[in-house]
Chains A and B, each alone.
Chain A
Amino acid sequence: MRELVVVGGGPAGMAAAAAAARLGVDVTIVDAAERLGGQYYRQPRVGAAPGRRAAHGLPARYSRLEAEVEVLAGWGVWRAEAEGRQVTLQLVSQQDERPARLSAAAVVLAPGATELALPFPGWDLPGVTTAGAAQALLKGQGQLLGRRVLVGGSGPFLLPVAAALARGGATVVAVVEAAPPRRLAGVAASLAGHPGTLAQALGYLGTLARRRVPLLPGSAVVACEGEGRVERAVIAEVDQGLSARAGGRRLVPVDAVCVSFGFVPRLELVRQLVEPKGELPAGVFLAGEVTGVGGAKVAEHEGALAGAAAAAHLGHRPSRREERAARLLRLRLRHAERLAATLRRAFAPGGGWTGWLEPETLVCRCEDVPFSALAEAVAEGATTARAVRGVTRCGMGYCQGRTCGPALQLAIASLSGADPEEVGDLQSRPVALPLPLGAVAVEPPELAPGAPHR
């Protein structure tokens, strides 16, 4: 049995691992990706030419982490259970779908988030991706999705993606931000107390300005068109609630369209651990986006605190100095969390996007479920995500609602006038990742510490 397993090698997970290791805990990080970093600090692919650094890469403070903790890369966690003083994680190798088991006296869950993608006509055309996909392809693989790229959606994530694509050699056609100029001015004002974030934002804006990339606030990509792949995008002005204004539509030629409306925490492992007793078991700690989307800085602060809390739970007492550091960290976290809350409010999508959809626009990309089917189910009285899923198959495909679930939740809320909380989500997943039945059927061996795992 391991002492502490950290699920997720992104900013929160790395900070948790580093903090716990500093306090003398034996730490194991498990992550589905091949290298540490998560999405934010994504490292270039294994085997990439040395000397050419991607936009972020691993910060210097984590450069020794791989030597200090055990890193199990390429393992996904499909199930988590707690019993007594032990948490057991069921793993599946991402490259060959082999099962394995990992048990620990304490666990930090830092699984991060997925992107919120709101459907529009043509969003299922090849060449239309999330902003994160374009980012990951560029950072991890040095690869562009297209030459003429349109970046759209809402939120602070659009700027780094657009800037990276521009620096990587793409022609960024425009950055289409749904929030109106007035709200963006408010966001800018709130950055005053956060010089680091402000400098970062100005850097991105400078990159875009130097390349004459237009920023279009109060607008949205409301449709994409093309034969077998995206060739044109339709940009429309939208009001505060995301309803498209009449007229003023522009058709722009593109090779690729990258959209993002923010992030949704990945809750399936948390739910698996909470559901049996209705509370998080002792010895399980949460950090990062899973506690509420706040970005990398908030995630790292939370991770460091979660790592320290896990260490304390395991009986590693912090020194006075470390206690002082933790108090300081809590203050920093509160400060960063205030900005995160401002950003969440400013960029929360309204429900008007359902007005962009045609009846036949697919909401569920796996099972080909059109918007009309959802609207019909809601009109008949199905007002929870689970109920609508049951009669439409929206969210029943390969991704199990990871992509359409949040959109479904928002669409039902928008159509029925209900609160999204009442509508519920589709994140209760007893199987967090698909794996072969042959791998489920056996009780797999515990991964031996120190042994080569790949």
Chain B
Amino acid sequence: MSARRPGGAAGRGSGNASGEEAGGGEGRARVEFSFDGRVLSAPPGSTVAAALCANGVQAWRRTRGRGEPRGLFCGIGACFDCLVEHNGRPAVRACVTLLHDGDRVATSSSTGRPSRA
């Protein structure tokens, strides 16, 4: 399968903060997760959005109408722009959802889904 990222943001435009005052979890055990089938890793305690940003992914949703790429916008759970599919749950906010080891993350189609009865 293709390893292209939805936003085409491969490797650019992000990174861990390196400055004197940024909090970070560098050097500790990282959690592994998958994004659209690719295996990635992130510091423990990351939100899904931060984990994706840390891997250079800037977009993880396609809009319902025009299929345009979207990612983080308000960063505090208010705008619902950063919706992502998380462990099979559709349309959760990546910026407030915590990542755990083994999580499955996938590009969101911007809709919910009926649960299986």
The answer to A–B direct touch (Cβ < 8 A) is: yes
Interface residues, chain A, CB within 8 Å of chain B? 32-34, 39, 44-49, 52-55, 94-95, 97, 114-115, 117, 124, 126-130, 132-147, 164, 166-170, 227-229, 255-256, 266, 365-368, 397-399, 402-403, 436, 438
A52 smallest CB distance to B (angstroms)? 5
Q: In the bound complex, do residue B27 and residue A147 qualify as a contact, i.e. CB atoms below 8 Å apart?
A: no
Which residues on the B side are within 8 Å of A366 (C-beta)? 80-81
Q: In the bound complex, do residue B70 and residue A48 qualify as a contact, i.e. CB atoms below 8 Å apart?
A: no
Q: Which residue of A lies closest to B6 (CB)?
A: A228
Q: In the bound complex, do residue A167 and residue B20 qualify as a contact, i.e. CB atoms below 8 Å apart?
A: yes
Residues A138 and B22 in contact in the complex (CB < 8 Å), given A33-B96, A48-B45, A124-B70:
yes
Q: Encode contact with A along B97-113: 1 for CB under 8 Å, 0 otherwise.
A: 11000000000001000
Q: In the bound complex, do residue A47 and residue B8 qualify as a contact, i.e. CB atoms below 8 Å apart?
A: no
Question: Could you say which of B8, B50, B78, B89 contacts A114, with CB atoms under 8 Å apart?
Answer: B78
Q: Which residue of B lies closest to A95 (CB)?
A: B98
* Interface set, chain B 56-107, CB cutoff 8 A to A: 58-59, 63-66, 68-81, 83, 89, 91, 95-98
Q: In the bound complex, do residue A368 and residue B15 qualify as a contact, i.e. CB atoms below 8 Å apart?
A: no
Which residues on the B side are within 8 Å of A49 (C-beta)? 23-28
Which residues on the B side are within 8 Å of A55 (C-beta)? 21-22
Q: Which residue of B lies closest to A52 (CB)?
A: B23
Residues A229 and B9 in contact in the complex (CB < 8 Å), given A49-B25, A54-B21, A130-B73:
yes
Question: Could you say which of B46, B65, B69, B79 contacts A399, with CB atoms under 8 Å apart?
Answer: B79
8 residue pairs, one from A and one from B, having the closest CB atoms: A133-B75, A44-B23, A47-B45, A255-B13, A142-B24, A168-B17, A141-B50, A398-B80
Q: In the bound complex, do residue A129 and residue B73 qualify as a contact, i.e. CB atoms below 8 Å apart?
A: yes
Answer whether residue B115 sits at the interface, using C-beta atoms and an 8 A cutoff.
yes
Answer whether residue B2 sits at the interface, using C-beta atoms and an 8 A cutoff.
no
Main secondary structure of the interface of A (DSSP, over half): loop
* Interface set, chain B 23-41, CB cutoff 8 A to A: 23-28
Q: In the bound complex, do residue B70 and residue A169 qualify as a contact, i.e. CB atoms below 8 Å apart?
A: no
21 A-B pairs with CB atoms under 8 Å apart are: A45-B43, A53-B21, A55-B22, A114-B76, A124-B68, A126-B9, A126-B58, A127-B7, A127-B13, A130-B73, A136-B75, A145-B14, A145-B53, A146-B13, A147-B13, A168-B18, A170-B17, A256-B13, A403-B73, A403-B81, A438-B115
Question: Could you say which of A133, A168, A229, A256 contacts B69, with CB atoms under 8 Å apart?
Answer: A229
Which residues on the B side are within 8 Å of A139 (C-beta)? 22-23
Residues A403 and B50 in contact in the complex (CB < 8 Å), given A54-B22, A124-B68, A368-B63:
no
Q: In the bound complex, do residue B15 and residue A144 qualify as a contact, i.e. CB atoms below 8 Å apart?
A: yes
Q: In the bound complex, do residue A143 and residue B14 qualify as a contact, i.e. CB atoms below 8 Å apart?
A: yes
A40 smallest CB distance to B (angstroms)? 11
Complex: A141 Cα to B14 Cα, angstroms: 13
Interface contacts beyond A53-B23, A140-B47, A368-B63: sample of 16 additional A-B pairs, CB < 8 Å, sorted by A: A34-B98, A45-B45, A49-B26, A94-B97, A114-B74, A117-B73, A126-B7, A132-B74, A136-B76, A141-B46, A141-B50, A147-B12, A229-B8, A365-B79, A365-B81, A368-B66
Which residues on the A side are within 8 Å of B63 (C-beta)? 368
Q: In the bound complex, do residue B17 and residue A169 qualify as a contact, i.e. CB atoms below 8 Å apart?
A: yes
Q: In the bound complex, do residue B25 and residue A47 qualify as a contact, i.e. CB atoms below 8 Å apart?
A: yes
Which residues on the B side are within 8 Å of A127 (C-beta)? 7, 9, 13, 58, 71
A334 smallest CB distance to B (angstroms)? 29
Q: In the bound complex, do residue A229 and residue B13 qualify as a contact, i.e. CB atoms below 8 Å apart?
A: yes
Q: In the bound complex, do residue B19 and residue A168 qualify as a contact, i.e. CB atoms below 8 Å apart?
A: yes
Which residues on the B side are within 8 Å of A54 (C-beta)? 21-23
Complex: A139 Cα to B79 Cα, angstroms: 19
A234 smallest CB distance to B (angstroms)? 18
Q: In the bound complex, do residue B47 and residue A45 qualify as a contact, i.e. CB atoms below 8 Å apart?
A: yes
Q: In the bound complex, do residue A228 and residue B16 qualify as a contact, i.e. CB atoms below 8 Å apart?
A: no
B106 smallest CB distance to A (angstroms)? 16
Which residues on the B side are within 8 Å of A399 (C-beta)? 78-81
Q: Which residue of A lies closest to B49 (CB)?
A: A137
A303 smallest CB distance to B (angstroms)? 19
A437 smallest CB distance to B (angstroms)? 10
A93 smallest CB distance to B (angstroms)? 11
Question: Could you say which of A44, A46, A138, A367 contacts B65, with CB atoms under 8 Å apart?
Answer: A367
